[in-house]
Amino acid sequence: MLKKLKLKQKFTILLLLILIVGVSFSGITLATVLNQNTKDEMTAKALSLIDTMSSVREYTLTQITPELMDDITTKFLPQAVAEYSAREVFEILRKRAEYRDFFYKEATLNPTNLRDKADSFETRIVEGFRKNKNLKQVTGFRSLPGGDVFYLARPLAVTKEICLACHSTPDAAPKTMIERYGTAGGFNWHLNDIVAAQMVSLPASGVIKKVNQSFLIIVGLVSALFAAVIFLVNFFLNREVVVPLKRITRVAEEVSIGHMDVDFEPLTNDEIGNLAKAFKRMKRSLNMAMKTLRVINHDREL
């Protein structure tokens, strides 16, 4: 099939193949880089938020809860609970427009407050932390009714004895807490048990859309660049190779039928010009040979 094609067509096919392979390879590479950069950026933002919430928890556990422990027996104060403090601080943060679609949750398998109850997806994450004690963090994307979100989760373990004052058994828990939340959940915890996953969720739909738009723009620019290269190569090939070759072919055909008044004009010093010079020398030699042959034939006739 290729043998039947002209030189320009062969070069066009070759360049189109290069275009397809180049755009495909660069597209895959670009998509990988953009996705990784996006994930790294979102991870950095999520880490900043979750570290902030961890600091709020630590402050509550070390400075607020101990001061209020004596009062809990007479009046349970949720403000003394680390999870409550972190959640409330985050809700204040969400009042700012740029954080409106961000979420924080301490997804718990057996919570005191039902708003912390882990759903099936979050339950799998907590169980994953329980099975693999060396797993310190997980990240990923999750589809929700409101759109895709990027999440970062860390294990939450019972690390302080003070937590067991409310979460060991219902009998040991403050009566005011039992009156508020009941005895259905939040008990039988043990020191160092992983009971929850600390999770921050960031909106991802808009970010993914921007990444896809950037991908399409860059691939479009690369494709346009390749198309421009194909056009320029074809233009150069046509002007510098195809047209001179056609001219040489036309002159050679004229010479082949005896028209010696035409000549090969070497317009360039490249290989095409050298070819024209070679044909010109061949024509000169052929012309001399034909003159010699005519002289010999004339002498024979005499």
145 plus 258 within the same structural domain: no
166 plus 224 within the same structural domain: no
- Domain limit, last residue, from 203, 230, 263: 203
Parent domain of 276: 214-301
Query: Which 3 state secondary structure label does DSSP give 150?
Result: strand
Q: How far apart are CA 203 and CA 199, in angstroms?
A: 13
The number of distinct structural domains making up the chain is 2
Q: Which of 300, 301, 266 is nearest to 283 (CA)?
A: 266
248 plus 270 within the same structural domain: yes
Over residues 153-179, mean pLDDT? 83
222 plus 170 within the same structural domain: no
Query: Does residue 73 carry a pLDDT above 70?
Result: no
Q: How far apart are CA 184 and CA 267, in angstroms?
A: 96
Q: Quick one: pLDDT band at residue 282, thresholds 50, 70, 90?
A: confident
Q: Quick one: pLDDT band at residue 135, thresholds 50, 70, 90?
A: very high
Does some domain include residue 2?
Answer: no
Query: Over the chain, what is the mean pLDDT?
Result: 81
CB contact at 8 A, 51 and 44: no
Antiparallel, parallel or unpaired: β 103-108 and 138-144 = unpaired
C-alpha dist (Å) from residue 11 to 22, 245, 268: 16, 15, 22
294: amino acid identity, one letter: R
Q: Quick one: pLDDT band at residue 260, thresholds 50, 70, 90?
A: low
Give the pLDDT confidence score for residue 53 in this predicted structure. Answer: 92
pTM: 0.65
218 plus 127 within the same structural domain: no
CB contact at 8 A, 218 and 30: yes
Does some domain include residue 253?
Answer: yes
110 plus 226 within the same structural domain: no
Q: Identify which has the larger pLDDT, 8 or 52.
A: 52
Does some domain include residue 3?
Answer: no
Does some domain include residue 209?
Answer: no
243 plus 288 within the same structural domain: yes
106 plus 177 within the same structural domain: yes
Q: Quick one: pLDDT band at residue 298, thresholds 50, 70, 90?
A: low
61 plus 121 within the same structural domain: yes
19 plus 154 within the same structural domain: yes
Query: Does residue 55 carry a pLDDT above 90?
Result: yes
